[in-house]
Amino acid sequence: MSGAIFRKTSIVGLATLLSRVTGLLREIIYAQSFGASAFMDAFLVAFKIPNFLRRLFAEGAFSQSFVPVISEHKVQRSHDEVRELVAGVSGTLGAVLLVLSAIGVIAAPVIIFLFAPGFTGTAGKYEMAVQMLRWTFPYLFFISLTALFSGVLNSYGRFAIPALTSVVMNTVMIGATLLAATHSSNPGLTMSIGVFVAGVIQLGFQLPAVAKLHLLAWPRWRPAMAGVRRIGALMVPGIIGSSMAQVSLLLDTLIASFLATGSIAWLYYADRLMEFPLGVFSIALATVILPGLSANHAQNSREQFSQTLDWALRLTVLLATPAAVALLAFAGPLTATIFGYGRFNEGDVRMASYALMAYSWGLLGFSFVKVLAPGYFARQDTRAPVRIGLTALACTMTLNVLVVFPAAKLGFPVPHVLLATTTCIGAAINTVLLWRGLVRAGVLRHAPGWGAFLWRVVLANVVMAVVLWGLGGDLAEWTTLHAVQRVARLAGCVMLAACVYFAVLFATGLRYQHLRAADR
């Protein structure tokens, strides 16, 4: 069980790594070309709104609802019935998304005002964001259908193509920025058109692989189809339950629009660095285990279900904790090396690094949520995640009202850091409640050996943190180095830290078989 999951996670992780690397290159180009300017704030909001809806509908509620149903059809029904389900879902979802996209384009001024009301206080900023949103909003239509076909491929064990799809987006946006936006009198419009084009190409990238499985059929309007109705019923509460982190981040953007110019960009760049390890490992692992958990549930194999979750949690602890510690202890050098060039000056580097330090420990919470949530959705239980998500969101927003706004009014120098912190607290609450619910439901029983495993991981992280802290030095020193020197120094420090981490684990007796305890 664990060997198969590990191999598939490695495939998805490597493909996602390429996606994250190209995505990071895209962000570097953004930072160098436009810095933390008012224009960049406006573009990030215009892109974040459809991107938020993508994660909410496509990668969140829809994927978590669609994969269990198609996995059940695959196990219990004929291939033709699976193809009919895909046709019915794509036609029904596509029609709804087409209408939603049209509404988004027409209502762009209202949407920008709702999500970034602070933009109206800066001349031209609100108008720029509205113009950009009218091109970026239709991206939701294309990427949601892309997510549908990715779910089909994942259900049939084809993980690489969906994981590589984001590379297409990143490549198009890099080209749009370097070849057009930096030479344009209206760079925001150029980049927004690039988002639209990227959505079209991403959808086309999926279709040949789906056709090869003989599951590609002409989309049909089938809202009354049993499978479509079940997916829709699961989606409604799942929209909230699976996407609390995204809701929190979008609300952070709303609040940040009232803060100093650059706050949105600082949070965005810090979030991108935090999302790098989250995407490479945690999201990859969650993508791999959902079809398996769904099949376990369809076959009424509760023991295998529990073993899969327990093993996934161990792997998350092993790999996500050192990533979180590295983001905390090495935030300054990471930000300076990746973004600290061109118009992204030393002050921007410092502010973004503070946000990254605040986000760092939240990586654990976000990772655990990604791994635990499939334990609910695989059993087609969306009600519990809804309650849990609402609780976490309520806590986050209460803290924002009681802490962030007063701190900003009283002159706290870095209020955007508090926004990142409250988001991480919400993720921690979400994690604890999701875990408790699975244990109480009897579908998650931890195998022996967790105590010894945890103390080894904690010790290794402490030693690694000390090493990184010593290697970090002064942030100003990093910003004066040439780009090649920064990259070489950062690579050396990261490699040394990784060696120290795994050396301590090995010295304290951790072996591969300890991660396979669930198989025994």
**pLDDT tier, 517 (very low <50, low <70, confident <90, very high otherwise):** very low
Distances (CA, A) of 466 to 321, 460, 472: 15, 10, 10
pLDDT at 433 over 90: yes
User: 100: exposed, middle or buried (C-beta count within 10 Å: 0-12, 13-18, 19+)?
Assistant: middle
Higher per-residue pLDDT: 242 or 132? 132
179-229: per-residue pLDDT in tens? 888 888 788 788 899 999 999 999 999 899 989 988 888 888 988 888 888
453-485: per-residue pLDDT in tens? 999 999 999 999 999 999 988 888 898 888 889
- Nearest of 313, 162, 144, 368 to residue 239 by alpha carbon: 144
pLDDT at 38 over 80: no
Distance CA 167, CA 190 (A): 19
pLDDT at 501 over 70: yes
Query: Where does 82-194 show beta strands of DSSP type E?
Result: none
Distance CA 60, CA 207 (A): 21
Query: Residue 518's pLDDT is what?
Result: 41
This prediction has a pTM of 0.69
Residue with tokens 């709702």: 114
Query: Residue 70's pLDDT is what?
Result: 81
Residue with tokens 């924002």: 400
Distance CA 15, CA 243 (A): 23
**pLDDT tier, 254 (very low <50, low <70, confident <90, very high otherwise):** confident
Q: CA torsion sign, 423 to 424 to 430 to 434?
A: positive
Q: Per the structure block, which two tokens stand in for 188? A: 């925001």
Q: Per the structure block, which two tokens stand in for 297? A: 């549930």
255-273: per-residue pLDDT in tens? 777 777 778 888 888 988 8
pLDDT at 10 over 80: no
134-171: per-residue pLDDT in tens? 999 999 899 888 888 888 887 787 777 887 888 888 99
DSSP per residue, 425-488 = HHHHHHHHHHHHHHHHTTS--PPTTHHHHHHHHHHHHHHHHHHHHHHH--HHHHHHS-HHHHHH
pLDDT at 178 over 50: yes
Indicate the range of 45-54, 88-97, 477-486, 501-510 predicted with least confidence.
45-54
91-107: per-residue pLDDT in tens? 998 898 899 899 999 99
**pLDDT tier, 359 (very low <50, low <70, confident <90, very high otherwise):** very high
Contact between residue 344 and residue 28 where contact means Cβ atoms under 8 Å apart = no
Contact between residue 494 and residue 429 where contact means Cβ atoms under 8 Å apart = no
Looking at residue 229, what DSSP letter applies?
H
Distance CA 452, CA 219 (A): 53
pLDDT at 1 over 50: no
Sequence-separated (6 or more) residues with CB below 8 Å from residue 185: none
> What percentage of the chain has pLDDT greater than the value 90?
26
Contact between residue 229 and residue 223 where contact means Cβ atoms under 8 Å apart = yes
Crossing angle for the helix pair 346-360 and 331-339, to the nearest 10 degrees: 130
The amino acid that residue 118 corresponds to is G
Distances (CA, A) of 425 to 23, 85, 483: 26, 39, 35
Contact between residue 290 and residue 64 where contact means Cβ atoms under 8 Å apart = yes
Q: Is 157 left (phi over 0), alpha (psi -120 to 50) or beta?
A: left
Distances (CA, A) of 78 to 73, 84, 144, 340, 446: 7, 10, 26, 55, 36
278-334: per-residue pLDDT in tens? 766 776 677 667 677 877 777 777 888 888 888 889 889 998 999 999 999 999 999
Query: Residue 519's pLDDT is what?
Result: 38
Contact between residue 90 and residue 147 where contact means Cβ atoms under 8 Å apart = no
> What percentage of the chain has pLDDT greater than the value 70?
89
Distance CA 269, CA 252 (A): 14
Domain range summary for the chain, segments of one domain joined by +: 2-519
384-418: per-residue pLDDT in tens? 887 888 888 888 888 888 888 788 878 888 888 99
Query: Residue 118's pLDDT is what?
Result: 78
Query: Residue 520's pLDDT is what?
Result: 38
Residue with tokens 């202890």: 329
Distance CA 45, CA 115 (A): 8
Query: Where does 232-289 show beta strands of DSSP type E?
Result: none
